[in-house]
Amino acid sequence: MSQAIHILSRESTSLSEEAYSRIRSMIITLELVPGSLISESDLMAKLGFGRTPIREALRSLANEKLVEVYPRRGMFVSSVDVQNLSALSETRAVLEIKAAELAATRSTSADHLITKALIAEIKSIKGNVDMATLIGLDQRIHHHIYQCTHNEFLASALDNYYAHALRIWFLALDRVAGLAEAIIEHQALLEAIADNDSKAAGKAMRDHVEGFEASIRKSL
């Protein structure tokens, strides 16, 4: 009996994590409109999950301030406030630079294989690459760098800040120029990490974060 309960618990956790990932992506890409009321039944129908995984996912997203909960009113997608861009950039400038430096000194052999694969992917970018592919690559690069720190607290915090910054990015996406060039800039960062050069990695990350804020601010 206890083994069956344990298996059910693991399955429930897995479903909750998948629901969390799917809903989080919908919030970040603004598919779920900022400020809109969240319908559990709509999410259940759209994503094919039961009520429990959806509720657990929304609880986690509320902890990340991507969902706002109001008693007797319901749950809402958090609004996107471009005024937060400066505060987010200040925070990321400190933590992302530290993450890049740590990634350069702590990357394992397995990490290096992924780093080199990402570099090869960047080098293969040619012509008109669709927006979804570029943004997906950017997310994978940042997530990989966070994981290379081998500090789960730092990785978790950075993933959250990155998500909020990305929502502002999506808000201005139709007016942001040079997205492919911005992604290609990651090559220098990843090469510094692959070379275990923490100083160069930190500088490359600083340039990237500052460039990101400047391009978004110009677009907005």
Structure tokens at 174: 């139709």
Structure tokens at 191: 């090469």
Q: Which CATH superfamily is domain 82-219 in?
A: GntR ligand-binding domain-like (1.20.120.530)
> E strands within the chain?
67-70, 74-77
Regarding the domain delimited by 2-77, which CATH topology (the fold level of the hierarchy) does it fall under? Arc Repressor Mutant, subunit A (1.10.10)
Residue 69: strand, helix, or coil = strand
Q: What is the dihedral of CA 168, 125, 99, 207, to 10 degrees?
A: -70
Q: What is the dihedral of CA 146, 149, 152, 155, to 10 degrees?
A: -20
Residue extents of the structural domains in the chain: 2-77, 82-219
- 220 residues of the chain, pLDDT tens digit each: 444 433 333 444 688 999 998 999 899 989 999 999 999 999 999 999 999 999 999 999 999 999 999 988 999 999 988 888 888 888 998 999 999 999 999 999 999 999 999 999 999 887 677 777 788 888 899 999 999 999 999 999 999 999 998 888 888 766 565 667 778 889 999 999 999 999 999 999 998 888 877 777 776 6
pTM for the model? 0.81
